[in-house]
Structure 1
Amino acid sequence: MKKDKEKNYRRISKFLSLVLRHQPEKIHLTMDENGWVSVSQLLSNMNKFQHKIGMELLEEVVETNEKKRFAFNEDKTKIRANQGHSVQVDLAYTAKTPPEILYHGTAIKFTDSIYKTGLQKKKRHHVHLSKDFETAEKVGRRHGQLVVFEINTTKMVAENFKFFKSENGVWLVEEIPVKFLKEIHRD
């Protein structure tokens, strides 16, 4: 039973990621400039499109999501994805001083491109960084044979790069030029 519950939560979470990060139009959601969507509209529209859930289940999915991808506003009338949007939103982040070192996990198949142009946000709003090697390693393994880059944020801050931290602890930056990257190998 627990496995079915987890599978259902994962299915709902993936659908929420799709409509709150990439395709709100898929279920006719109205998203404001900061990425917020009315919870009542979300639930109503999800129910129309074969994802029958209520507020209690939505709260459980948001609360138990291991990556903390979603957030409610204070009175739980609105919901949004914390980061990773491909649609235009202003998440209203303020610049923060990052730890001296951050990490980015990816697949080896992307290293030629990375060594030419650095880490680019591509269709996302930012490059995503992890505060520890283990998290970067976990993220990178999803894309193929792993490579982890260490980023010297102290040097980047000295050159006026702005870092932001999402509500779920992911560090964000517009880009990372090659000169700030160091490939890390751990056995």
Structure 2
Amino acid sequence: MSSIDADKTEEQQQRRQEKKDRKRPGERQNIEGRGGGGGARRGGSAKLRGLPKDAHDVRISKTLTWILRHGSQSEGLAMRPDGYVRVDELLARPKLRELDFATLQEIVKNDAKSRYSLVLEADPNSNEEAWWIRANQGHSMKTVVLDLEPIQSHADIPTGIAVHGTTERAWESISATSLEEQGLSKMSRNHIHLAQGVAGSGVISGMRSSSQILIFIDVQKAIDAGIKFYLSANGVILTEGDEKGFLHPEFFSRVQTADGKPLTGWDGPEGVPAVSTQTTPKDTQAARASNTKLTEELEKKVEATTL
């Protein structure tokens, strides 16, 4: 399942659960400022994101990701144009009242997909040094402009691979809609996300391990057609697609199941070599080197530091 598909599904499940909670007699949501004119404007609900079946630390992580990607405004947080918010203000939100800075550092440092960046910089409003945090990609807020590295050619992709993971159901929609709306869509987000490989190949982020369908992209062909691509801080390939937010099938070099079986008619157009999910030692070495560099940079930022 792609990250966009999964976020949409989880949002629907979250809403259903909240409706159930409101119907339970004797229970009330713990909302800051209840009775005083709207909790959302003062920092929102204290209810964690995720589902009741999720482990507590998983719900904390989902809440953190949601706030930094989609919910800063509803949480009453000031976000810089580059996506950073002050850590002290973030930890003051009702949803994250149990989270301290030391635990936040560990979450950032140990996140398997390097979803976050944590920096110590001066606050332009006060000139005092403060810790700031952001999500490295995945935003739906149009005001966020990340400092992304432009990809000028296929050679700029460390592993040489760009692939989007999705579900069988989503693939039916991707391949069966009208020509104008056929292909990958950024939907409510700012970008379409592509990974530099598949699960198990040393890739940090960009695809869920549960993806059922893998769509390989001919990045060079898309660049030549005027589509722009970028590399995020944690190695995810991002594109806004065309003017309508689509990356059309003409740029798909191969589509296959997660176990490597090509879909009929999508096993590599004429003149485009079929792409294997098996990475070469060189590909794996490049991915590991990129991951190691990101980890080292993060450790330098958070080593032996407290608020």
Decide: shared fold, TM above 0.5: yes
Cα distance in 2 between the residues matched to 1:15 and 1:28 = 15
**Residue 91 of structure 1 aligns with which residue?**
146
1:118-177: per-residue Cα shift (whole Å, max 9, x none)? 1110001111001113369962626xxx11111111211222321111111111111221
**Residue 32 of structure 1 aligns with which residue?**
80
The letter for the 2-side match of 1:109 is R
Moved more, 110-119 or 55-64: 110-119
CA RMSD of aligned residues (A): 2.3
- Report the TM-score when normalising by structure 1: 0.83
Counterpart among 139, 152, 164 of residue 208 in structure 2: 139
Residues 13, 137 of structure 1: alpha-carbon distance in 2 compared, 3 angstrom cutoff: closer
- 1:73: Cα distance to partner? 2.1
Q: Does residue 119 of structure 1 match 2:184? A: yes
Ranges in structure 1 where 5+ consecutive residues have no aligned partner: 1-6
Cα distance in 1 between the residues matched to 2:111 and 2:60 = 10
Higher-helix-fraction structure: 1
The letter for the 1-side match of 2:163 is Y
SS in 2 for 1:155: helix
SS in 2 for 1:95: strand
Q: Is the 8 A contact 1:62 1:68 kept in 2?
A: yes
Counterpart among 101, 104, 110 of residue 64 in structure 1: 110
Q: Is the 8 A contact 1:29 1:41 kept in 2?
A: yes
1:44-94: per-residue Cα shift (whole Å, max 9, x none)? 22xx44632211111011111111111112446111111101122111323
**Residue 153 of structure 1 aligns with which residue?**
219
Moved more, 49-58 or 163-172: 49-58
Cα distance in 1 between the residues matched to 2:77 and 2:191 = 23
Tell which structure's C-alpha radius of gyration is larger: 2
**Residue 184 of structure 1 aligns with which residue?**
256
The number of residues matched between the two structures is: 176
Q: Is the 8 A contact 2:193 2:206 kept in 1?
A: no
Q: Does residue 101 of structure 1 match 2:149? A: no
The letter for the 1-side match of 2:237 is W
Higher-strand-fraction structure: 1
Residues 105, 50 of structure 1: alpha-carbon distance in 2 compared, 3 angstrom cutoff: closer
Q: Is the 8 A contact 2:164 2:195 kept in 1?
A: yes
Q: Does residue 52 of structure 1 match 2:98? A: yes
Cα distance in 2 between the residues matched to 1:50 and 1:91 = 24
Cα distance in 2 between the residues matched to 1:141 and 1:49 = 28
**Residue 82 of structure 1 aligns with which residue?**
136
* Percent identity of equivalent pairs: 31
Residues 149, 43 of structure 1: alpha-carbon distance in 2 compared, 3 angstrom cutoff: same
Cα distance in 2 between the residues matched to 1:90 and 1:78 = 16
Q: Is the 8 A contact 1:103 1:129 kept in 2?
A: yes
SS in 1 for 2:162: strand
SS in 1 for 2:109: helix
Cα distance in 1 between the residues matched to 2:165 and 2:225 = 23
Q: Is the 8 A contact 1:107 1:140 kept in 2?
A: no
Higher-RCO chain (CA-CA 8 Å, sequence separation at least 6): 1
- 1:17: Cα distance to partner? 0.8
SS in 1 for 2:60: helix
